[in-house]
């Protein structure tokens, strides 16, 4: 199936290694703390699950659902919060876990939003970073892979709600979405 829809950019072994590296950094930085770890649905769910299992600290888990893509391969720039967090983040350290940092619009909004809700600190973690697409001044505190401006799917990332369950990440062939 992978040759039909995409070219693999990160196989299962590469993803597992990168998640372990990110978790080690988070474990070091949050030593002695109990952060609220917020997964951004739906795209981060697989990365989030793998990541939190490698955290050797107490942490509270929560989720938010936001959207800026719809059924397009390009962010609309309009952010909609579809599901808010349920945790009280007042005076808490918050770690936001996202699948991909693209324009920065979503994480820029979420960081400010969580700080306005009283978070003591907000750090950003992303598995994929596309710095050349950045529209907002957002830098992840933890990142996995830096990629060019490519449309990728798998390991939680989707195109029109498809391909999230692929165990690898690949560049979606244009004929699939053209």
> In this predicted model, what pLDDT tens digit does every residue of 78-122 receive, in sequence order?
678 899 999 999 999 999 999 999 999 989 989 999 999 999 999
Note the pTM of the prediction, 2 decimals.
Answer: 0.91
pLDDT, position 178: 76
Catalytic positions are 102
Architecture of domain 2-177: 3-Layer(aba) Sandwich (3.40)
For residue 46, name the pLDDT band (cuts at 50, 70, 90). Answer: very high
Residues 139/154, Cβ–Cβ less than 8 Å: no
Residues 100/148, Cβ–Cβ less than 8 Å: no
Q: Give CA–CA dist 105/69, Å, rounded.
A: 11
Torsion, CA 107, CA 75, CA 5, CA 162, rounded to 10 = 70
Q: Give CA–CA dist 123/140, Å, rounded.
A: 7
Show the tokens assigned to 154: 């798998």
For residue 3, name the pLDDT band (cuts at 50, 70, 90). Answer: low
Residues 167/58, Cβ–Cβ less than 8 Å: no
74 pLDDT exceeds 70? no
Residue written as token pair 């770890």: 37
User: Stretch 36-56: mean pLDDT, rounded?
Assistant: 97
Q: Give CA–CA dist 158/118, Å, rounded.
A: 32
Domain boundaries, given as residue ranges, for the chain: 2-177
> In this predicted model, what pLDDT tens digit does every residue of 112-167 receive, in sequence order?
999 999 999 999 999 999 999 999 999 999 999 999 999 999 999 999 899 999 99
């Amino acid at each position: 199936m992978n040759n039909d829809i995409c070219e693999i950019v990160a196989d299962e072994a590469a993803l597992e290694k990168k998640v372990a590296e990110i978790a080690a950094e988070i474990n070091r930085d949050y030593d002695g703390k109990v952060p609220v770890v917020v997964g951004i649905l739906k795209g981060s769910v697989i990365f989030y699950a793998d990541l939190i299992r490698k955290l050797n600290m107490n942490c509270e888990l929560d989720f938010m659902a936001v959207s800026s893509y719809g059924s397009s391969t390009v962010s609309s720039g309009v952010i909609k919060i579809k599901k808010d967090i349920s945790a009280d983040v007042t005076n808490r350290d918050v770690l936001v876990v996202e699948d991909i940092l693209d324009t920065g619009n979503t994480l820029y909004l979420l960081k400010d939003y969580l700080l306005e809700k009283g978070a003591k600190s907000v750090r950003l973690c992303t598995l994929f970073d596309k710095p050349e697409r950045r529209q907002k001044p957002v830098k992840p505190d933890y990142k996995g892979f830096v990629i060019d401006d490519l449309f990728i799917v798998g390991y939680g990332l989707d195109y029109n709600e498809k391909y999230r369950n692929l165990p690898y990440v690949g560049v979606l062939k244009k004929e699939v979405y053209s």
